[in-house]
Chains A and B, each alone.
Chain A
Amino acid sequence: MAKLILLHFILALLCFFADAVFEDQVGKFDWRQQYVGKVRFAHFDMHVQSSKKVLVATEKNVFASLNTRTGEVYWRHVDKTGPEGNIDALLMHGQDAVLVVGNGRLLRSWDINIGGLNWEIVLDSGSFQSACFVGQQDSVKYVAVLKKSAVSLHYLSNGHQKWVENLPESETVQYQAVYSGGNGEVYTLGVVPHSHITIVAYSVEDGEIIKQISVDAPWLSNIQASCAVVGQGMLICADPATVSLYMLDLNVQSQMTQIPLQSLGLEVSPGFQPTVVSTQPNPARPPHSEFFVQLGPDHYQLLQLNNGQIVALRDFKPAMLVSFATTGEKTVAAVMAPKNKTACSLNLFSAESGRRLLDTTLIFNMDPNGGKPEKLYVQAFLKKDDSVGYRVMVQTEDHTLTFIQQPGRVMWTREEALSDVVTMEMVDLPLTGTQAELEGEFGKKADGLLSMVLKRLSSQLILLQAWIAHLWKLFYDARKPRSQVKNDVTIENLSRDEFNLQKMMVMVTASGKLFGIDSKTGTILWRHYLDNIPSNAAFKLMVQRTTAHFPHPPQCTLLIKDKDTGLATLHVFNPIFGRKSHITPPALPQPILQSLLLPLMDQDYAKVLLLVDDQYKVSAFPSTKNVLQQLQEMASSIFFYLVDSSQGRLSGYRLRTDLSTEMIWEVIIPTEVQRIVSVKGKRPNEHVHSQGRVMGDRSVLYKYLNPNLLAVVTESTDLHQERSFVGILLIDGVTGRIIHEAVQRKARGPVHLVHSENWVVYEYWSTKSRRNEFSVLELYEGMELYNSTVFSSLDRPHPPQVLQQSYIFPSSISTLEATLTEKGITSRHLLVGLPSGAILSLPKMFLDPRRPEIVSEQSREENLIPYSPEMPIRTEWFINYNQTVSRVRGIYTAPSGLESTCLVVAYGLDIYQTRVYPSKQFDVLKDDYDYMLISSVLFALFFATMISKRLAEVKLLNRAWR
């Protein structure tokens, strides 16, 4: 019976692990930001005059609708990653948005009001080239899709295929564009590079070839890049070689007419490929006869096709970007021109005449820490007086979208670079002015007793003042309803809170833009765009100096490395304000193999960063005399390792006093059998509170806490499901000693791994059972410690005991991380990012290789959960309740000032920040703690004792008198 009660007790105990939030706590400690990615296509919803939508299709394979008033996401559809979900084209007509997805694999139609799918059809295979609407008699009924060797026509209403036709001579001719002018014909334009253009016209009704033209064009190689259809079916191409435009009437078979640009009085910038920009606002009608020709990087010319003659309307120089926009029957051209160094001006011009429209100037202030404008999307509308008004959405190089209204009011900005966070760090906020004042007192050198006393008094006076101000504010705020108390966070009033729960999130994005985000509210406090970032750059962010060393400013260093060449640059900045540091980082002429942040500090409390180049020479940053001297003293105990996964080589090096290195160990894993996929050490800021585990019989099992231990994961090159395996090696990073070597047979990657304390947890795909499995390795020294005072890799002759256990996990996972707390007293949880967008907080207790298969008295004493092969997923373990995080790529954990609390940031397409309490909030009073009750009880007791004391005195006195 006792057993049963105990079992139930354990079950009840398990239930208490639930740390789901209460309803009223939603959004109190957590926030989520949704992003869409770098915009590839954008269309304003024009079918209703007062519409507030802009539809965007992005390079992250997201199709979304944004609110043009606020910039918020109305709805969003996240497709598969990679080429499978790639959005090839976005066409918009009325309420329908037609998307071609996955290199022409799927054709989808969405209702733009609610974001619902109208229809979806699978297209025939073949690589996608182009798509367009096909209209007839002023109504748009069809979509034409051009593939490499076929063209097909689909009904817009239901997606059914009307006809599909093979393209003639598709082996030699590259068909690149499809066009329809609303006259019952569909034109496909193909080119044989440097030979001729082929134009095939199909009948809309039955797909019959009406005519087929071949025109010599030996100068043309790409239609999409240099041609456009203008007016009543006139193909206009630009040729940089002869500096001329070529004209071809699609309706009449003829030669191409050459019009030298010089004859129009135009000149092309040397080496520039001119392009033609035309507009076709209604697919049922032919394009407008006005078009732009870009003649140079900042030079555009508006031209008109008038009765077969090209007329120059207006010259725009300098002009950075141009765009056509149509509202009602009016078509305008928006031109962005630089005004001064920090601002651009936009103006509207009538497309027909090229005249500037009055009162249409709009100023776009460029962020000095942002990129240059890249694309311009114009939303034109008719005002009440029938004049044209407009708003613009500007896309800049740093993937930022800015929506501007006249005369230059920024309605919203979206930092889409944040959809691709690569790495991040959390930095403590600085102390408040008063706290800093107090700190400063200790920092300065003593100058006489009296002045020190005075200084102390003055600083304490300031503290008192601040405290009173704080109390006053508390009192003042308490009278207001909670919803009205708003603390706008700005960079000026940033300061550390009592428990260090608010931190600065420094985020590095793939586009090279850095962000400083307040962790409490998610406000972007600073941004800094680094231009000249190579597209395949690898980033490593290091905190060289924390905020703890007032008055020295905190300092972060970002190592940017080109993956191909290995050449690296350093960007040193202040993580609180985002400003570039005045310290000039060293130039790095050699490719960098490895970087390591030492716990050594220079006299300004900046940690020393060592960079190892391909000659195995080491350079230090900062490299002051003090640092070099320290390095010389410490050299013999500075070890590092290099991994060359292409050769399967792991090698260890030791630093010499002259900052050269020597190789001291080498492990080679033959690449024929397996390849190294990941090498993970432990986090340097991790603390382990208890050295061992108390067993059921009161003896202690000591943990093997090797700070230099590396977990190396390999995957077999043989992918056959019977022979594939995942290897796991535990190697000491100093001595190169292989501590443990295990093989998980019939398993495959991707392997996700967490390495912390004395354990390694990894997840893999079991090919035999076709499921995901978790495995945990724990290392113990045994019942006694070899050397309890200090750990040295060079003096631990006994190999540790390794325990391992595996479990079935009912879901695949995206990423894995472990919680981290200040002192490591709180029990650990694993944070598992699931592909569904949930983040699971899995107690480490469930991943314990000592979970017994047969329950004994001792294991119960230890509170071990009996082994069960399946790991549960409980919905109350989802720390982000219904706030799903799309495509989680990484989870970052940071300790807070409270031991119970760990800050968590999950990033992927979205960013989600929250706090977790793995052992519940044992050091914090609850939110709904009844202060009134406890204080009234205290007061009542106090008065009761006072009164009873008095009464007792009176009684004693009376008795004495008797």
Chain B
Amino acid sequence: MFFRSRAPVLIPVRMSCLLSFKLSVFSTVLLLLCTRFVCCNNGRRVGDALDAEFSGFSVPLEHSFEVDDVAKFRVRGALVLKAGREPSVSLSQNQLSEEDRTKLKEVAAVDGLYRIRVPRVFLQADRQTERQMEGYLTAFVRACAMVESHLSDVIALHTDVSGYLIGVSIVTFPGACRGTEVEDEVDLEVFNTTLSIMAPVNAPGPETALFLERMEQELERKGKNPQEQKSFFAKYWMYIVPLVLFLMMSGAQDQSGGGAGGGAANGGGR
């Protein structure tokens, strides 16, 4: 039995718990500061980006960060996917509103999660209706990592061989939660997202062709150089024979009972 349909495994994870406590202290201070700033939202709507280009099509990228950790997804931006031999992706996203910024900090303070999700899509389909599939792919980072990295995240979309989106991943850079304060509000306004779409790589098979080529080259080289052609023994017999003889003699003398063998060897020597 190779596989059980719900294979159990244990995943131990080390995370700092102290850190979150420290963060909560910092963020209360931050909250007071926040109130003085006036938020400038440029007000670009996501819907504008939804007008699909000729070959690309757009799906929403949603995010959720709640203090009570119950996911409530809202639109963060729009992913424009271009199907084809080499699929490409681009992202247009809004700035974070002031309300969201404070909330994100609050969530970070309680060591909550920042989740994102994208709908399941099939890139290679021709029609829009075929592209969308039921269900979402979700991923998360710790909200504090999001805050401390000043919203610079790396999102990767993974497809399978036939162009189905199978997974999404998000990491922030830097990824650690050190409890550093983010004072400047501007740092939490604009997402600095690096986006990529990844198809599976082809695993290599055994490299027979190259190996054979190399073998042939070696043979050729040996053919050119007659010195090399000689075998190891042919070249070094003058060293090996005395060595072997010496070993045999010493071995024969070592064995107290092996007189007969030793005698024969000695006789041969004479």
Contact = CB atoms under 8 A, between A and B. Distances in A.
Interface range, B side: 35 or more
A26 to B, nearest CB: 25
Contact of A668 (B137, B142, B173, B228): B137
A925 to B, nearest CB: 20
6 contacts: A666-B135, A670-B160, A673-B160, A734-B11, A787-B176, A797-B171
B203 A736 contact: no
B13 A666 contact: no
B202 A869 contact: no
A794 B6 contact: no
B169 interface: yes
A561 to B, nearest CB: 9
Interface stretch (A16-24, A351-359, A740-748): A740-748
Closest 5 CB pairs of A and B: A667-B167, A737-B169, A869-B206, A797-B175, A741-B200
Nearest to B140: A664
Contacts of B201: 740-743
Given A679-B7, A737-B169, A795-B175, A667 B137 contact: yes
Contacts of B228: 4
Interface centre among B13, B111, B141 (most CB of A within 10 A): B13
B13 A793 contact: yes
Given A644-B6, A773-B205, A793-B13, A670 B166 contact: yes
Interface stretch (B75-83, B208-216, B261-269): B208-216
Contacts of B203: 728, 742-745, 775, 804, 806
Interface stretch (A48-56, A141-149, A523-531, A595-603): A595-603
A264 interface: no
Interface of A: 4, 8, 422, 538, 540, 593-599, 633, 636-646, 656, 662-670, 673-674, 676-681, 684, 707-708, 710, 716, 725, 727-728, 731, 733-738, 740-745, 750, 752, 766, 768-769, 773, 775, 787, 790-797, 804-808, 853-854, 867-870
B17 interface: yes
Contact of A667 (B142, B154, B166): B166
A681 B14 contact: no
Interface in B58-76: 69, 71
A745 B81 CA distance: 26
Interface string B194-226: 000011111111111011001000000000000
B238 interface: no
A867 B145 CA distance: 43
B158 interface: yes
Nearest to A681: B9
Contacts, number: 215
Interface in B4-54: 4-15, 17
A670 B100 CA distance: 34
B200 A743 contact: yes
Nearest to B134: A668
B2 A750 contact: yes
A349 to B, nearest CB: 46
Given A638-B11, A640-B10, 19 more contacts: A422-B1, A599-B10, A643-B7, A665-B140, A666-B137, A731-B167, A735-B139, A735-B140, A736-B167, A737-B171, A787-B176, A792-B14, A795-B145, A796-B171, A796-B175, A806-B203, A808-B206, A853-B207, A853-B211
Given A743-B200, A793-B13, A593 B232 contact: no
B166 A678 contact: no
B158 A794 contact: no
B122 to A, nearest CB: 8
Contact of A674 (B69, B160, B207): B160
Contacts of A642: 6
B202 A742 contact: yes
Nearest to B115: A664
B270 to A, nearest CB: 31
B248 interface: no
Contact of B14 (A538, A637, A666, A768): A637
Nearest to B138: A666
B172 interface: yes
Contacts of A775: 203-204
A708 B74 CA distance: 30
A164 to B, nearest CB: 42
Contacts of A594: 6, 8
Contact of B169 (A597, A663, A738, A744): A738
Given A8-B232, A738-B167, A665 B139 contact: yes
Interface string B130-167: 00010111111110010000000010101011101011
Contacts of A677: 2-3
A739 to B, nearest CB: 9
Nearest to A710: B9
Contacts of A733: 9, 11
Contact of B138 (A540, A665, A795, A806): A665
Nearest to A771: B206
Interface centre among A595, A741, A742 (most CB of B within 10 A): A741
Nearest to B5: A645
A656 B174 CA distance: 26
A795 B15 CA distance: 9
Contacts of A805: 204, 207
Contact of A4 (B14, B145, B232): B232
B120 interface: yes
A4 B145 CA distance: 55
Nearest to A593: B6
Given A664-B140, A673-B160, A639 B6 contact: no
B252 interface: no
Nearest to B136: A666
Contact of A707 (B12, B154, B169): B12
Given A665-B138, A869-B206, A641 B214 contact: no
A773 B7 CA distance: 26
A734 B14 CA distance: 11
Interface in B71-105: 71
B113 interface: yes
A675 to B, nearest CB: 10
B151 to A, nearest CB: 14
Interface centre among B6, B156, B198 (most CB of A within 10 A): B6
Given A744-B203, A794-B175, A678 B3 contact: yes
A669 B166 contact: yes
A794 B137 CA distance: 18
Contacts of B160: 669-670, 673-674, 727, 741
A728 B11 CA distance: 20
Contacts of A662: 69, 71
A596 B17 CA distance: 22
B162 A673 contact: yes
Given A666-B136, A684-B10, A736-B139, A727 B115 contact: no
Nearest to A728: B203
Nearest to B111: A636
B6 A643 contact: yes
Nearest to A809: B206
Given A595-B8, A708-B13, A794-B175, A668 B111 contact: no
Interface centre among A4, A668, A677, A736 (most CB of B within 10 A): A668
Nearest to A890: B1
Contacts of A663: 138
A12 to B, nearest CB: 11
Given A727-B200, A794-B15, A738 B156 contact: yes
A807 B204 CA distance: 10
Contacts of B214: 853-854
Contacts of A768: 205
Nearest to B208: A869
Nearest to B213: A853
A744 B164 CA distance: 18
B252 to A, nearest CB: 18
A540 B172 contact: no
A673 B199 CA distance: 14
Contacts of A638: 11, 13
B169 A645 contact: no
